[in-house]
Amino acid sequence: MLFKKQTNVLTESTENFLVAIYRLTHERSYARTKDIAESLGVSLPTVSEKIVRMAEHGYLDHQWRHGVMLTPEGRLIALRVLRTHRLIETFLVNVLKYPIDEVNDEACRLEHVVSERFMHAIDSMLGYPTVDPHGHPIPTEEGTIEVFEYHLLADVLAGKKVIVKQVSDRDRDQLHYLKDMGIVPGAEITVLEVAPFDGPISINVEGKTVAVSQSIARKIGVNVVRIRELFKE
Minimum CB distance to DNA smaller for 55 or for 181: 55
Binding partner of 118, given Mn ion, DNA, a copy of itself, none, CB within 5-8 angstroms per partner class: a copy of itself
Cα 39 to its chain centre, rounded Å, is 13
Q: How far is CA 60 from each of CA 65, 73, 108, rounded to the nearest angstrom? A: 14, 9, 21
Tell the smallest beta-carbon distance from residue 104 to DNA (Å).
17
Element (H, E) at 227: helix 227-230
Q: Which one of residues 30, 98, 150, 177 is an interface residue with a copy of itself (CB under 8 A)?
A: 98
Positions 56 through 85 that interact with DNA (CB under 7 A): 62, 64-67
- From the list a copy of itself, DNA, Mn ion, none, pick the one residue 177 interacts with, judged by a Cβ distance below 5 to 8 Å according to partner type: none
Q: How many residues bind a copy of itself (CB under 8 A)?
A: 19
Q: Shortest CA distance to 86 belongs to which of 25, 10, 18, 140?
A: 140
Taking the C-alpha atoms of residue 151 and residue 148, their distance in angstroms, rounded to an integer, is: 10
Determine, following the binding rule CB under 8 A, whether residue 155 of this chain makes contact with a copy of itself.
no
CA nearest to 159, candidates 222, 213, 215, 202: 202
The 8-class DSSP code of residue 156 comes to P
- Residue 133 or 201 having the CB closest to Mn ion: 133
Q: Which does 42 bind (CB under 5 to 8 A by kind): DNA, a copy of itself, Mn ion, none?
A: DNA
Minimum gap (Å) between residue 218 Cβ and a copy of itself: 31
Q: Is residue 123 part of the contact set for a copy of itself (CB under 8 A)?
A: no
Contact between 159 and DNA (CB under 7 A)?
Answer: no
Strands lying side by side in the sheet with 201-205: 151-152, 220-224, 161-167, 188-194, 201-205, 208-212
Chain positions 24 to 53 lying near DNA, rule: CB under 7 A, are 32-35, 41-53
Q: Tell me the closest approach of the beta carbon of residue 92 to a copy of itself, in angstroms.
A: 8
Determine the size of the site formed for Mn ion (CB under 5 A): 8
Q: Is 114 exposed, middle or buried (0-12, 13-18, 19+ CB in 10 A)?
A: middle
Q: Is 113 an interacting residue with respect to a copy of itself (CB under 8 A)?
A: yes
Which residue, among 145, 108, 134, 158, has the nearest Cα to 221 in the 3D structure? 134
User: Bridge partners of 151?
Assistant: 222
Q: Using CB under 8 A as the criterion, which residues of the chain lie in contact with a copy of itself when the complex forms?
A: 92, 95-98, 102, 105-106, 109-110, 112-115, 117-118, 121-122, 125
Binding site for Mn ion (CB under 5 A): 16, 89, 108, 111, 132, 134, 136, 169
